[in-house]
Amino acid sequence: MKPPRIVVMAGSRRAEALSRRVAFACVQALQAAGAEVEHVELADYPAPLYDGDLEVAQGLPDCIVRLQHILHASDGLLVVNPEYNGSVTPLLKNTLDWCSRPNPADRARSGGAVYAGRAAAVVGSSPGALGGMRVLFHVRDILGYLGMQVIPQQLAVAKAGDAVGEDGRLKDGAQQAMLEALAVALADCARRLRA
């Protein structure tokens, strides 16, 4: 059976973003769980702030069309989220919103079709003690409204600046075990939804 294809993205595009470090640990855990992983760097998909008038005048940005195709070809999505004032980053929300828009030239691989019926998981990251716990609920809601099946397993990585070891795994054994369980659950859900 073909392995499930999972897209991993961090909600920040800063070069030294903690969420990006944690995303690399997620990629490794998903690969170990038997998934084929596409790690998406949102810096490679720079879209303007969503504006309906801009969409009417210019259509979807080319980078968003490319990202829609990647999401449509996937079986699931794992998002690693920094916490901005207790909620989702503007970058992540803007990207998800743009990708939810239909492309008249390719309706089958755009709009709701890039999310519906796919598995999703959320991981938080923060330099603080809560690990971005508050943002997880917001992102879960957004992905659910987009039609994704968000698995119950989630993880908040506290003190994320020192959480990932040189081997790409989480240094805390209990957190690494939780990440591995999340990866297995996401891969299994993605397989079942694809069947």
**Local confidence pLDDT in tens for the 195 residues of the chain:** 799 999 999 999 998 889 999 999 999 999 999 999 999 999 999 999 999 999 999 999 999 999 999 999 999 999 999 988 888 999 999 999 999 999 999 999 999 999 999 999 999 998 888 778 889 999 999 999 999 999 999 999 988 889 999 999 999 999 999 999 999 999 999 999 987
Residue 101's domain spans which residues? Answer: 5-194
Q: How far apart are CA 177 and CA 4, in angstroms?
A: 21
Contact 3, 190 (CB under 8 A): no
Contact 86, 134 (CB under 8 A): yes
Number of domains in the chain: 1
The position carrying tokens 């890039």 is 114
How many other CB atoms sit within 10 Å of the CB of residue 168?
13
pTM for this predicted structure: 0.95
The torsion angles phi and psi of 151, rounded to 5 degrees, stand at: -70, 155
CATH classification at residue 105: 3.40.50.360
99 burial (CB, 10 Å; 0-12 / 13-18 / 19+) is buried
Total count of residues recorded for the chain: 195
